[in-house]
A = this chain, B = another copy of it.
């Protein structure tokens, strides 16, 4: 039944577009044709034949319907960060629709959080299952009353894709609390070591001072993060976030250390020595802070690619160095894969690119997983007593079931290696544009990192704005970066549309 319904649901966009009385303005005639005639996609089969053939722009964005709706929404919900009002029931695959009938190719994908396309039929079926309904309406306090199918949901979902060497998970709700619970695990681990092991009881002084928010019970320890890092916006995670002042202003923060992140020079092949030096200096800075900071770090947290901070990359050697350093100093190594995880870099987890000798101690995830948490392997990272790492919901089985369906879809379409391939195609296409339009596509980065690609634009905000008018939804990061975050179902024919659009933007 659900699948019939799903099938019925998938038709509206195509039908609506072709029956529309106003002929929609189609920008990409060749690409539009490509969906139906595979020769012009180089033989590529579209994953979703019912996907719109290309962007459709009917009005300026926001159009009149959107403007009305936004004004209404703003009465009760702050809309000043609103980018575009969407009509998700009409959005499909790589395309996001709005209430004015505009349909954009979406390579921002809800800040990199849509994995397998809007209104994906496999997910739609999972959403309408009885297991999902029960998970939604019978939401458990997972730490106290997990369901009898929770182990199976974990094993066939979240844990099926666990990073190598990490076979345990603590589930959470979003990136911020995934990171913060990982930090909590790190602090508890460190203090347990300082006490002499899991069997050593808390001292009376620990107990009393913890209730007063004072050391030693509330310890004078820290998490070390990097300049321009982003790890979330609650109080602990924000203390490790160093992206932009607007994220941090007026919010009290812990006095935790920040290390230099290597700022690589591009093109990489022309700056090998210089970049090596910059990375060595950054590692030295980490070691210096571990050794000397007045709040000793019990963990180092790092993004495989700094995302909000402007798409800053470092080499596998740098991350190998971090792993070595943290081991040397008995400090935990937390990899924040909230934005990089789940396939977009051409590996399921971006840190697989590093070929580490031993895995990170914890890997945090969210966004494309649609659920969140941290993976770990070392049994010492389970706190020594129950209720130390605990909260009412501890995640959400409904979202874990959805992640399982996402994983199925990724496997069915082999989307990780697909993304590695299409990423190369996209990277090369932008490299061509960069040659053709000098100064417009600077510091192109993300080679060999799937579609996790970015470049600096001399007029970034204008670039993003114009993108909408030519049918593409693109996001930025940091001060100047245009960050591409297509979904995993982004194909060559979508790439052609995107490249054509970007050329239009810089030509205009």
A318 interfacial by beta-carbon distance below 8 Å:
no
Q: Would you give 19 A-B contacts (Cβ < 8 Å), ordered by A?
A: A1-B1, A65-B148, A73-B154, A76-B155, A88-B138, A99-B148, A111-B392, A128-B128, A137-B402, A173-B173, A177-B234, A187-B251, A187-B252, A188-B251, A191-B250, A210-B245, A210-B248, A221-B252, A235-B235
A414 interfacial by beta-carbon distance below 8 Å:
no
Instruction: Render A154-184 as a binary contact track against B, CB cut-off 8 A, 1 for contact.
Output: 1100010000000111110111110011011
| Residue from A96, A119, A151 whose CB has the most chain B CB atoms within 10 Å | A151
Name the residue on B nearest A66 (C-beta).
B148
A389 interfacial by beta-carbon distance below 8 Å:
yes
Q: B159, A137: Cβ atoms under 8 Å?
A: no
Q: Given A176-B391, A233-B391, A235-B236, does the pair A143, B82 have CB atoms closer than 8 Å?
A: yes
Q: B245, A235: Cβ atoms under 8 Å?
A: no
A434 interfacial by beta-carbon distance below 8 Å:
no
Q: A81, B387: Cβ atoms under 8 Å?
A: yes
Using a Cβ–Cβ cut-off of 8 Å, how many residues does chain A contribute to the interface with B? 131
Give every chain B residue within 8 A of A233 (Cβ-Cβ).
Answer: 184, 390-391
Closest Cβ of chain B: how far from A206's Cβ, in Å?
6
Give every chain B residue within 8 A of A370 (Cβ-Cβ).
Answer: 139
Give every chain B residue within 8 A of A29 (Cβ-Cβ).
Answer: none
Tell me the chain A residues, 51-79 only, with Cβ under 8 Å from chain B.
Answer: 65-66, 69, 72-73, 75-79
Contact of A246 among B234, B242, B388 (CB under 8 A): B388
- What is the copy number of this chain in the assembly? 2
Closest 3 CB pairs of A and B: A235-B236, A80-B386, A213-B253
Give every chain B residue within 8 A of A181 (Cβ-Cβ).
Answer: 234
Report the bound CA distance from A481 to B211 in whole Å: 20
| Residue from A78, A111, A131, A175 whose CB has the most chain B CB atoms within 10 Å | A78
Contact of A236 among B76, B143, B234, B385 (CB under 8 A): B234
A123 interfacial by beta-carbon distance below 8 Å:
yes
Q: A206, B144: Cβ atoms under 8 Å?
A: no
A218 interfacial by beta-carbon distance below 8 Å:
yes
Q: A213, B254: Cβ atoms under 8 Å?
A: yes
Contact of A207 among B187, B214, B249 (CB under 8 A): B249
Q: Given A218-B252, A249-B217, does the pair A137, B120 have CB atoms closer than 8 Å?
A: yes
A310 interfacial by beta-carbon distance below 8 Å:
no
Q: B392, A154: Cβ atoms under 8 Å?
A: no
